[in-house]
């Protein structure tokens, strides 16, 4: 039974990585489309989600144990805590990111 659970965990991990890659591409597209505020918020959400995931991985046993399905709940937790951190401005990164994007856009316009 262990190989099946391992295979499911690997597929779930691949799905999370793919979703994060898609989020990063959407943020990159938003920055290129002239909406630096939206791109900055999206990037902050992604960065906060990745930070929460890495912090959670440092816990022994995790929040949800190691049974089947725990990876789904962990991914959900990472995403929602990361989004909450970004929405409340707890990390205060979006403004710096927005200024950086705007600076790059003005350089490209010259």
pLDDT at residue number 83: 94
User: pLDDT by residue (tens digit) across 81-99?
Assistant: 999 999 998 888 888 988 8
pLDDT at residue number 54: 92
pLDDT at residue number 82: 94
pLDDT at residue number 1: 43
pLDDT at residue number 81: 95
pLDDT at residue number 88: 93
Closest Cα to residue 82, out of 51, 57, 58?
Answer: 51
User: pLDDT by residue (tens digit) across 33-72?
Assistant: 668 888 889 999 999 999 999 998 888 877 787 777 888 8
Count of domains for the chain: 1
pLDDT at residue number 38: 87
- Report the distance separating Cα 98 and Cα 27, nearest Å: 11
pTM of the model: 0.65
Listed in sequence order, the DSSP H helices in 33-57 are 36-57
Helix/strand/coil percent split, the chain, to 5: 80, 0, 20
Domain that holds residue 20: 2-109
pLDDT at residue number 23: 72
């Amino acid at each position: 039974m262990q190989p099946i659970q391992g295979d499911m965990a690997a597929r779930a991990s691949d799905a999370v990585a793919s979703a994060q890659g898609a989020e990063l591409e959407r943020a990159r597209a938003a920055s290129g489309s002239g909406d630096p505020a939206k791109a900055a918020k999206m990037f902050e959400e992604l960065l906060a989600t990745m930070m929460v995931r890495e912090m959670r991985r440092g816990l022994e046993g995790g929040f949800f144990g190691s049974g089947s399905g725990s990876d789904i709940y962990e991914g959900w937790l990472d995403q929602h805590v990361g989004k909450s951190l970004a929405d409340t401005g707890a990390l205060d990164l979006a403004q710096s990111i927005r200024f950086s994007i705007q600076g790059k856009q003005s350089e490209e316009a010259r």
